Structure 1
Amino acid sequence: MTPALPQGPAFPGSVGISDLRVYEWETDDGHHGGTPHLHTVSNEGYVVAGGTGEVHTLSSDGFARDPLSAGSVLWFSPGTVHRLINTGDLHILTVMQNSGLPEAGDAVLTFPLDVVSDADRYQEAVTLPDGSESERADAARRRRDLAIEGYRALLSPLQDGDRGPLEEFYAAAAALVQPRVEQWTKLWSETVLTDVETTRAQLASLAAGDAAHLADAAVVRAVPRPEPRAFGMCGRLQVWDT
């Protein structure tokens, strides 16, 4: 039985971190890599630990391609459709704003519009079944390939200057997550907002010459979840229990 972790502060900034080994599976357009998606309310950052690759992004500014190698740092805001391309053992530390919200459904995969517009079909397409490692890998790859199908339906018009399909996808993604927003707001208030308010109170205390909160200093030691790594959207994930 895993021992209970001590109570302590949230990870700095109330962000979430994960260790990502980007998929090497080939796609029908000749690339290798992960599942295109966007986040509806959270910024995401990449700190590249090793290997090489690219991140392809779609936004209102159009299509962009950024090379990635050890030491690269890149981040983007909600609404940025992003697709990781692996050209050689791409290994990334991902940093997610609003820890808890991405895990609660903040990410929307770029499935074809008719799937994203139907909550039941989307849930069926996005959910990986229980089963063996091989069965789950096959399902994750099918999920990735369906998202690439929808991604390409956004990419081609955007490259021609037509933002209409991307805006339709944005509207469908917003409608898909809308039923969860009340739950997200509660979670955000109990984590991110609480962290901000704690800092506000500490600043006020220091301004008044009161250092009492320093006596509450604490260290939190995270425990990595057991192998095998999870099948994430973009690759195999190592996460920590905190």
Structure 2
Amino acid sequence: MSDPQTVPLPGGVGLSRLCVYDTVAPDGAVGGTPHMHLCCAEGYVVRGGSGLVQTLTLSGYRETPLVPGAVVWFAPGTIHRLVNHGGLELLVLMQNSGLPEAGDAVLTLPPEVLADPRSYTAAVALPLGGAPGTDLTAAYARRDLAVEGFGRLCRSAQDGDLTPLREFHRAAVRLVRPQIERWRARWAAGALRAAEETGEQLDALERGEAPHLSRAEVYAFAEPDERGRQGMCGLLDTYPVR
């Protein structure tokens, strides 16, 4: 069996197990931090418990139930927040392997914080990068601040005013632009390379050849690479991404 860290997961996805936060936010809901990805689709397979995911796009606000066996996913640009009704546990699939861990997430902080990159960075930072076993105070503080901003966006959208949501999109783009070169390198080595390899295999098969069949291998992770890391929506057990 070969080293699984030398080959990305199928399609260049990222994989983690998520136990959603079980404390109450300022709006009375129990759960995670509202945020948006700019380049990564996200999907859930519900393993246990129950809850819902709140989403906000230019099409409006929505709540999608999460019960065992359900599969839910959404595109980049979807603001989302997990709400835990009890024991909510998910298998999370993220597009573009390690891109979310490289910064492809912007929290719905109030506009005055989003406008200043230094203030935003300070507001979202966690002690030791959210290492397992560290105090959750900072994780909950940034969640609560993001819930405040999310509430403003939702109320405006429900009143028919999408201007604040469009302004949030623009602020998010400004915040992530300095990271694009690093993101592009991760994408090229992960999801893009996986797609290119499929194209090469199709070309070979069309010629009546199949050299890739002789290179077949089996890969496995015996356990997560890291357990209990503080994420935006809960505690994560993560698997290595290439």
Q: Please say whether Structure 1 and Structure 2 have the same fold, judged by a TM-score greater than 0.5.
A: yes
Preserved CA contact (<8 Å) 1:22 1:90: yes
- Asked if structure 2 preserves the Cα contact closer than 8 Å seen for 1:116 and 1:172, the reply is yes
Q: Secondary structure at the match of 1:185?
A: helix
**2-structure distance, mates of 1:43, 1:83:** 14
* 1:8 and 1:218 in contact (8 A); partners too: no
Structure 1 unaligned blocks of 5 or more: none
**Closer, same or farther in 2 for the Cα pair 1:47/1:133, shift >3 Å?**
closer
Where do 1:41-190 residues align within 5 Å? 41-130=39-128, 136-190=135-189
For residue 237 of structure 1, what is the aligned residue in structure 2? 236
Q: Which has the higher contact order (CA 8 A, sep 6+)?
A: 2
Shift of 1:95: 0.6
CA contact (8 A) 1:17 1:93 kept: yes
> Given the superposition, is the C-alpha separation of residues 20 and 206 from structure 1 closer, same or farther in structure 2, using an over 3 Å criterion?
same
- SS of 1:241's partner is coil
Q: Please list the CA deviations of residues 101-135 of structure 1 after superposition, one character each: whole Å capped at 9, or x if unmatched.
A: 11111111111111112111111111101399675
Q: CA RMSD in A?
A: 1.7
Could you tell me how far apart the structure 2 residues matched to 1:135 and 1:6 are?
Answer: 29
Tell me, yes or no, if the aligned pair for 1:225 and 1:238 is still in contact at 8 Å: yes
Inter-partner Cα distance in structure 1 for 2:219 and 2:131: 33
- 2 CA distance for matches of 1:92 and 1:149? 25
Aligned to 1:191: 190
- Report if aligned partners of 1:21, 1:235 keep a CA contact under 8 Å in 2: yes
Deviation at 1:136, TM superposition (A): 2.8
1:237–1:70 CA distance, 2 compared to 1 (3 A): same
Residue pair 1:16, 1:95 contacting (<8 A) in 2 also: yes
Deviations 1:46-68 (A, max 9, x none): 11111100111100011101111
List per-residue Cα deviations over 1:119-170 (Å, max 9, x = no partner): 1111111110139967531111101101101111101111111101000000
User: Are the aligned partners of 1:8 and 1:220 in contact in 2 as well (CA < 8 Å)?
Assistant: no
Q: Are the structure 2 counterparts of residues 114 and 49 from structure 1 closer, same or farther at C-alpha, using a change threshold of 3 Å? A: same
Between the aligned partners of 2:207 and 2:162, the Cα distance in structure 1 is 53
In structure 2, what is the Cα distance between the partners aligned to 1:57 and 1:237? 21
CA shift, 1:72, in A, is: 1.0
Q: Are 1:8 and 1:219, in contact at CA under 8 Å, matched by a contact in 2? A: no
Distance verdict in 2 for CA 1:122–1:7, change over 3 Å: closer
Name the structure 1 match of 2:225: 225
How many Å apart are 1:5 and its aligned residue?
Answer: 3.5
Aligned residues: 238
In the superposition, relative to structure 1, how do residues 180 and 132 fare at CA in structure 2: closer, same or farther (>3 Å)?
A: closer
Moved runs in structure 1, 4+ residues, more than 6 A?
131-134
Asked if the contact 1:35–1:148 (Cα under 8 Å) also holds between the matched residues in 2, the reply is: yes
Using structure 1 for the length normalisation, give the TM-score.
0.93
Spell out, residue by residue over 1:25-63, the C-alpha distance to the aligned partner (whole angstroms, 9 max, x if none). 111221100000000011101111111001111000111
Q: Percent identity?
A: 48
Would the alpha carbon gap of residues 204 and 134 (structure 1) be closer, same or farther in structure 2, given more than 3 Å must change?
A: closer
Structure 2 residue 38 is the aligned partner of structure 1 residue 40: yes
Answer whether contact 1:112 1:150 (CA < 8 A) is retained: yes
CA contact (8 A) 2:131 2:230 kept: no
